[in-house]
Structure 1
Amino acid sequence: MNVLSCIFFGFIIASMGSITPSFLNLTVVKFSLRNGVKSALYLIGGYATVLFFQANIGAYLSSILMENSEYITLIQQIGTVILFLLSINFFRLYFSKKEKKKSEDIPKSKAYFHGILMSSLNTMAIPFYFTFISILIGMDYFTYNIFNALYFSIGSTIGSFTLYTLYAILSKRIEHKLTYIASKMDFILGALTGILAVGNAIYLLS
C-alpha cells in the first residue's frame, strides 16, 4: 500500500476526530488564552503522543479479525454496531442532565504530561480508530501490516496536532462559539454516528 495514502487516511481520520469540540480542544483553547500558543503546544504534544499509540492499537485490533478474508464482513458488521452504540450513547449524554465541571488550572511546566493524561482518559479514541480503519479494510482502502500501521499513525499524529494547534491559534476568536457548540456536540455526534451506521448498514445489505 502506498505510504502517502496511509498517511493521508491517518491525517483525515484524526482530523475528523479532533475537529469536533470536546474536553480536549476546549482545554487547548483555555490553556492557550491563559498561557499563550507556545505553551499550549506542549499540551497538544501530550495529546498527539498518546493518539499515535491509540491509532496503532485501533489498527491492530482491526487486523486481528482480517487474518482470513471471510472476516472482513464481520469487521464491517462490528464497526456498524459500534457506530450505533456510539450514536445511542451520545444521545443519552445529550438528554441526560449533567452538572458542569469546573475547569482545572494547568501549570505550564506540567502541560505535556497533563496532555498525556487527558488524552489517555479519552476512551473514545481507540473505538473511533478501530471503526474507521475497519471500514477502510472492508472497502479495500487499507491493508494492515506493521509499516502501514506506522505510517497511518504518523498521519493521525500530524492530523490531530495540526487541528489542535489551529484551536490554540484561533482561541480568542472561537472561545465562546466553541463553548456553545460543545454544549450541543453530543447531539451532533449522535446524529453523525447514526448516519454513518445507517450508511454502512445499507452498504452491507447491498
Structure 2
Amino acid sequence: MTILTCMFFGFVIASTGSIMPSFLNLTVVKFSLKSGKKSAFYLIAGFATVLFFQANIGAYLSSALMENSEYITVIQKVGTAILVLLSINFFRLHFKSTKKQHKEEIEKSKAYLHGIGMSLLNTFAIPFYFTSISFLIGLEYFEYSLLNSLYFSIGSTMGSFFLYACYATIATKIEDKLTYIASKMDFILGCLTGVVAIGNLIYLL
C-alpha cells in the first residue's frame, strides 16, 4: 500500500469518528469558551498524542486479535466503568458551579496534560479503530504492517486534530450564541457520558 493511501484512510476514519458528539469534542468546546482557542489547541495536541498510539494499537488488534474478541469485551467493560465515573464527575461540577464563569487562560502544559488524560479515558477509540481497520482488511483495502500502521496513525492523528480544531475555532466565533450552552456544558457532558455508559452496559449484558 502507498503512504498516501494509508494516511488517507486514517484521516477519513478519524475525522468521521471525531465529528460525532462525544465528551472529547464537547470538552474542546468547553475549553475554547472558558480558556480561549490557544488553550483548546494545546488540549487537542494532548488528544492527538494519545490517539496516535490508540490508532496503532487498533491496527495491531485488527490483525492479531480477530479471533479473541473477549479482549475487546474487557476493554468495553473498563470503558463503561470509567464513563459512569466521568458522568458522575460532570454532574458534580455542574451542580457545584453556580457562579458565572469568566475566561481564564490555562497554562499550556496543564491543557496538554489534561488532553492526554481525557484521551486515555476514551477507551472507545481502540475498539473504533479495530472495527474500522478490520472492515478495511475485509474489503482488501488495507494490509497490516508496521509501516502501514504508522502511516495510518499519522493520518488519523491529522484527521482528529483537524476536526477538533474546527470545533475550537467555531466555538470562539459563535461564543455569544453558545453562552447558555456553555453554562450547561458539564451537565450536557454528564448526560452524554451517562447515556453512552448505559447503552454500553445494555450491550454487554
Q: TM-score, normalised by structure 2?
A: 0.69
Judged with a 3 Å threshold, the aligned counterparts in structure 2 of structure 1 residues 101 and 125 are, in CA distance, closer, same or farther, namely: farther
Q: Distance in 1 between matches of 2:59 and 2:148?
A: 9
What secondary structure, in the 3-state scheme, does the structure 1 residue paired with 2:93 have?
coil
* One-letter amino acid of the structure 2 residue matched with residue 158 of structure 1: M
The equivalent residue for 2:10 is 10
Q: Over residues 36-71 of structure 1, what are the superposed CA-to-partner deviations in whole Å (9 max), with x where a residue is unaligned?
A: 112211000000000000000000111215xxxxx7
Displacement after TM superposition at 1:35 (Å): 1.8
* One-letter amino acid of the structure 1 residue matched with residue 45 of structure 2: G
Q: Distance in 1 between matches of 2:19 and 2:188?
A: 12
How many residues of Structure 1 are paired with residues of Structure 2 in the alignment?
174
Consecutive unaligned residues of structure 1, counting only runs of 5 or more, are 66-70, 195-206
Displacement after TM superposition at 1:24 (Å): 1.1
Moved beyond 4 Å, runs of 4+: 103-106, 177-187
The equivalent residue for 1:202 is none
The equivalent residue for 2:168 is 168
* Identical-pair percentage: 58
* One-letter amino acid of the structure 1 residue matched with residue 107 of structure 2: K
Q: Distance in 2 between matches of 1:106 and 1:140?
A: 48
The equivalent residue for 1:141 is 141
* One-letter amino acid of the structure 1 residue matched with residue 141 of structure 2: Y
Displacement after TM superposition at 1:116 (Å): 0.3
Moved more, 7-16 or 150-159: 7-16
* One-letter amino acid of the structure 1 residue matched with residue 2 of structure 2: N
The equivalent residue for 1:129 is 129
Do 1:11 and 1:156's aligned partners in 2 also have CA atoms closer than 8 Å? yes
Q: TM-score, normalised by structure 1?
A: 0.69
Q: Distance in 2 between matches of 1:160 and 1:101?
A: 29
User: Pairwise CA RMSD of aligned residues?
Assistant: 3.6
Within 5 Å, which residues of 2 pair with 1:1-206?
Answer: 1-65=1-65, 100-102=91-93, 107-109=106-108, 110-172=110-172, 173=174, 175=178, 176=181
Q: Distance in 2 between matches of 1:161 and 1:17?
A: 12
Moved more, 30-39 or 45-54: 30-39
